[in-house]
Amino acid sequence: MGIHIEWKDEVLIAKADGRIDGTNAQEFQRELETAVDTSTHAMILDLEHVSYISSAGLRVILLTAKSLLKKDAKFAVCSLSAQIREVFEISGFDKIIAVHASQTEAIAALKN
Amino acid sequence: MQHPYKILVVDDEPDLEPLMLQRMRRHIQAGHYTFLFAKNGLDALERLNQDKDIDMVISDINMPKMDGLTLLGRIHEINPHIPSIVISAYDDMKNIRTAMNRGAFDFVTKPLDFGDLHLTIDRTLTHLREWREALASHDNLLTLQNELNVAGKIQQSILPTRFHETSDYQIVGQMDPARNLGGDFFDVLHLQNGRIGLVIADVSDKGVPAALFMMCSRTLIKSAAIGNRGPGDVLCTVNNLLCDDNDVAMFVTVLYAVYDPKNGELTYANGGHNAPLIVHADGRSTLIPMTGGIALGVMPDLQYGQETVTLSPGDILMLYTDGVTEAMNDEDQQFGIERLHEIFAASPPKDSQECNTMVFEAVKAFAGDTPQSDDITCLTFHRKEAET
């Protein structure tokens, strides 16, 4: 698991890769907490290169969504593989977290 | 404060004792060390046997009765954790090598340089202190490991192991945790008018936090299910209770179904859990429709829809957690739902026990040597064919 942070149009983009599970969820949480701290009003978590996410990883995404909500910042995830989209759909997370097909689409949605 | 370290000095030179006490007096006065003295290896062994508080040994090599190299071997037998420094003649590499091979921690050469000896003693004691800390951490870890094992047993013991069976149905459930403490659980509830409540759930993550959240979820579901309330209503109540003060964002996916033996109807609500399978007597298997609910504990004031399906005689309802479908093999493939359809089509299970066994064996065979990363749970309900 790794996370790459970049800024696009004043939106913080956190791009994760690899497997996110119980063995690295804490590291994932630390990285995202740092991102949340620096993010001013919008953050996108790009999951394109994430091959697997367990419930431990979903919990970290939920924590991130909650902390951004608290500081009135917007949050979205994008570029989910079919498998990860299914995890989001089964758990119902797609109903409470904005899911977009691509970064471009997510940025456009958050800027509105 | 650390008590002074007790150092045993072994040398047949009578002059060493007063010299050592004189040159090390500042460290002795400061309470860093105390010194004991022995005249040869045998004398030293006697001291070590009498005084179990000796922290380290400084020994000459050539001595009457028992030499320093023999002494090193014998110290190891008394207490392998006592470090030793040997004093050798300058340039005596052969004896120094032998001493190191017998476990000496370090060496100094004659004529003694007390400044160097002091540094060597301090380095040895630092090593000793770190070693003792590591041993203590190791002991704490063993204690913690033991407590986790006990907690795991408690957790397993709250899962039903004996299942009520009637002429109409048979139930079998099993949970294989990935670590000592799991996040999965299942329950079988006996409700009014012979109805049966079936619960399967998966708490986010594993370990101690998941186990605590699991205990809490299980009790809440059990108490909310009492009475005549529908599954959707039960999940709604439990969700709100779990959302109270849930700062750590733990959540639990739950499928709760109520079976009515009067008509074979199964009414269920889903809180973000995998859709159960119905395995028909001919081996065909279908996923039951989802009800669109969100995992419990995520957000308060959610509504949970419910659906009803009818189980035909001979049908098996299989509730499972994602430990089954997301089990990985050594090629990084997931077990998936298709394989379940295939194994049931190839050999239709005749009852709950057989269905459960088939699933656990298939997952095990698929995963091979790949370590189990998630808890694997199956709760299987078989509506029996009417006896003729």
What are the structural domains of chain B? Answer: 5-137 (3.40.50.2300), 159-383 (3.60.40.10)
CA distance B147 to B144: 5
Q: Is the pLDDT of residue B1 over 50?
A: no
Identify the CA nearest to B57 among candidates B110, B145, B112, B120.
Answer: B120
Give the whole-number percent of chain A exceeding pLDDT 70.
100
Coil, helix or strand at residue B257: strand
Q: Which residues of A touch B203 (CB under 8 A)?
A: 55
Would the CB atoms of A59 and B253 count as touching at under 8 Å? Answer: no
From A54's Cα to the closest Cα of chain B, the distance in A is 8
Residue numbers of the domain that contains A36? 2-111
Of B63-67, B172-176, B240-244, B275-279, which gets the smallest average pLDDT? Answer: B63-67
User: Which of B181, B184, B205 is the best mutation test for A, with the most CBs of A within 10 A?
Assistant: B205
CA distances from B288 to B175, B291, B318 (A): 22, 9, 10
Strand-pair partners of B75? none
User: Which of A19, A27, A59 is the best mutation test for B, with the most CBs of B within 10 A?
Assistant: A59
Q: Which residues of B touch A67 (CB under 8 A)?
A: none
CA distance B25 to B187: 72
CA distance B44 to B204: 60
CA distance B347 to B324: 18
CA distance A55 to B209: 13
Q: Which residues of B touch A22 (CB under 8 A)?
A: 205-207, 373
- Considering its fold, how many domains does chain A have in total? 1
Residue A20 sits in a domain of what CATH number? 3.30.750.24
Tell me the pLDDT tens digit for each residue of B157-210. Answer: 889 999 988 999 999 999 998 888 888 999 999 999 999 999 999 998 888 888
CA distances from A31 to A40, A64, B75, B213 (A): 16, 10, 51, 25
Tell me the pLDDT tens digit for each residue of B138-160. Answer: 988 888 888 888 888 888 888 99
| Residues on A contacting B at a C-beta cutoff of 8 Å | 21-23, 25, 51-52, 54-56, 58-59, 62-63, 66, 83, 90-93, 95-96
Residue B343 and residue B313 in contact, taking contact as beta carbons nearer than 8 Å: no
Is the preceding omega at residue B111 within 30 degrees of 0, hence cis?
A: yes
CA distance B222 to B216: 10
| DSSP-assigned states of every residue in A14-26 | EEEEEEESTTTHH
ipTM of the complex: 0.91
Q: Which residues of A touch B272 (CB under 8 A)?
A: 90-93
Would the CB atoms of A92 and B293 count as touching at under 8 Å? Answer: yes
